Amino acid sequence: TGKAIIASPSAKKMLAEDLKQRAHKLEKIKKDAEAIAAKLEGVSLTIATKVSSTGTIFGSVSNIQIAEALAKLGHEIDRKTIVVKDAVKEVGAYKAIVKLHKEVSVEIPFEVVAE
């Protein structure tokens, strides 16, 4: 079974077209991510949570609360793309990172306040 497979010119053309479409699709995904990033520029959130008398949060603030707060502002962001770098254990200012694309991410500052 030592048959060589020779790509016909039409097969080569289809492959080139396929690659072009795939590149176009990837470009569109990145452009969409950049468009969302542009909308998120300058957004900052305030998250009210139950706090003990010492200023410690009951539970913690996670990407779920960030996603909900963004949704209230009209930004539907998948919580899986939201990274909260620091463990949020008390009131104060923090940053979340929304990873929209491997090359596109936005920092969203948020403040945790007592409810």
- Domains, the chain, ordered by start: 9-114 (3.10.430.100)
Question: What tens digit of pLDDT does each residue of 60-111 get?
Answer: 889 999 999 999 999 999 999 999 988 898 999 999 999 999 999 999 999 9
Distance CA 70, CA 15 (A): 41
pTM: 0.80
Question: What tens digit of pLDDT does each residue of 13-61 get?
Answer: 888 899 999 999 999 999 999 999 999 999 999 999 999 988 888 888 8
